[in-house]
Structure 1
Amino acid sequence: MVRFENVGLRYDMGAEILKDLSFSIAPESFQFLTGPSGAGKTTLLRLMLLSLKPTRGLITLFGRDAATLDKDAVTGLRRRIGVVFQDFRLLDHLTTYENVALPLRVQGREEAGYRAEVVELLRWVGLGERMGAHPPVLSGGEKQRAAIARALIMRPELLLADEPTGNVDPPLARRLLRLFMELHRSGTAVVIATHDLALMDQFSHIRRLVLGDRRLTVYE
């Protein structure tokens, strides 16, 4: 699903910030991406999403060489990916419900066919009472959960999540991890970037991609 071969990244003429990255993400797999703050976890997720281009090396996404893709092809591949980044990207003029339902509306689906699904997901992430609220009145944790729900509603083939449990308490963090596990069991490949070692230790069987000193080490 995702393959990196000797990928490196530098900005302008500076030193490489990521170096010789070689790994793959299999379909229907689950992995944590971890490492110290500033190691480049968010940057690596953006490379996977093709919103950054590597300085060198080969990135393959869904069997396509990223270097050969035009803008329309990249857009098409991204529709198969669910993304949760730390800036949330919620639309302030839409309610929580409308933000989560937006990808379905863009697809042209009728609300009658998806309303129950959106409501159920919002209740699962603890936003059942906040469906009519707009993002400016939501807390950071509530915005994060809304962004997670929006990423999950399309049942993507690949989910990239950057610190998705960073603004929630431990019980809700575990609940969200179980939600990601359920998505994984339904066939989605999941990559969760986190520095929460205590949370990862509760799921010690999960594969880990560890960034450090500009390189990546894989622990199966």
Structure 2
Amino acid sequence: MIHFENVGLRYGMGPEILKDLTFDIPKKSFQFLTGPSGAGKTTLLRLLFMSLKPTRGLISVFGREMSTIPRTELPMLRRRVGIVFQDFRLLDHLTTYENVALPLRVRGKEESTYRSDVLELLKWVGLGDRINVLPPVLSGGEKQRVAIARALIDQPELLLADEPTGNVDPPMAKRILKLFMELNRFGTAVVIATHDLTLMDQVQARRMILTSGRLDLYE
């Protein structure tokens, strides 16, 4: 699904943030991305989401070399990827329900075909009674769960999650992880960036450890 070969990235004339990354994200795989703060985990997720291009090296996404993909085609490719950002990126003028349903609305789907799925997913993440609430009223943990539900609603081929359990309590973290595992069981490849060793210990999955811009893989 994703292939990196000798990928490096720097901003401007600064030092390389990511160095000589070579790895694959296979279809239907599950992996954790971890490492100390400042190691480049969020930057790597942005490369996987195609919102950044590498300074050097090769990245292939869904069988296409990223440097050859026209800018106009990138939004369509990104629709195949669900992403949970650390800053949530919810739209404050939309309700909880509307934020989660947004990817489906963008695709032109009729509400009658997805309303029950959105409501069921919001109930699963503990927000069944918050469907008509606007983001400014929600707590940090509630916003995080809305962002997670939005990333999952369209059953993406690849899910990228940046510290998805950072603002929730341990029982909810366990429930969210179970949801990711269920999505993976149905065919979605999952990459979770996290510092939470307890979370990682709950799943037999590959660990991608990023340290000072370099990546080590442990199956």
TM range (shorter): over 0.9
2-side partners of 1:113 and 1:201: how far apart?
A: 37
The equivalent of 1:129 in structure 2 is 129
1:4-53 deviations in Å (ceiling 9; x for gaps): 00000111112111100000000000000000111110000001111111
The equivalent of 1:181 in structure 2 is 181
The equivalent of 1:77 in structure 2 is 77
Residue 214 of structure 2 corresponds to residue 210 of structure 1:
no
Normalised TM-score (structure 2): 0.98
2-side partners of 1:99 and 1:47: how far apart?
A: 24
Matched ranges for 1:19-58 at <5 A? 19-58=19-58
Deviation of 1:86 after TM superposition, in Å, equals: 0.8
1-side partners of 2:3 and 2:28: how far apart?
A: 14
Deviation of 1:117 after TM superposition, in Å, equals: 0.6
Letter in 2 for 1:167: N
In the alignment, structure 2 segments of 5+ residues that lack a partner are none
Letter in 1 for 2:107: Q
The equivalent of 1:100 in structure 2 is 100
In the alignment, structure 1 segments of 5+ residues that lack a partner are none
The equivalent of 2:156 in structure 1 is 156
1:129-159 deviations in Å (ceiling 9; x for gaps): 1111000000000000000001100100000
The equivalent of 2:195 in structure 1 is 195
Q: Root-mean-square deviation (CA), in Å? A: 0.8
Task: Single out whichever of 101-110 and 15-24 deviates more from structure 2.
Answer: 101-110
What SS does structure 1 have at the residue aligned with 2:77? helix
- Percent identity between the two aligned chains: 73
Deviation of 1:80 after TM superposition, in Å, equals: 0.4
2-side partners of 1:105 and 1:50: how far apart?
A: 22
What SS does structure 2 have at the residue aligned with 1:5? strand
Deviation of 1:213 after TM superposition, in Å, equals: 2.0
Letter in 2 for 1:32: F
The equivalent of 2:114 in structure 1 is 114
What SS does structure 1 have at the residue aligned with 2:21? strand
1-side partners of 2:48 and 2:27: how far apart?
A: 14
Deviation of 1:107 after TM superposition, in Å, equals: 1.5
2-side partners of 1:47 and 1:106: how far apart?
A: 23
Task: Single out whichever of 88-97 and 102-111 deviates more from structure 2.
Answer: 102-111
Matched ranges for 1:135-150 at <5 A? 135-150=135-150
What SS does structure 2 have at the residue aligned with 1:53? coil
2-side partners of 1:150 and 1:109: how far apart?
A: 15
Letter in 2 for 1:214: G
2-side partners of 1:77 and 1:38: how far apart?
A: 28
Deviation of 1:201 after TM superposition, in Å, equals: 1.6
2-side partners of 1:176 and 1:125: how far apart?
A: 7
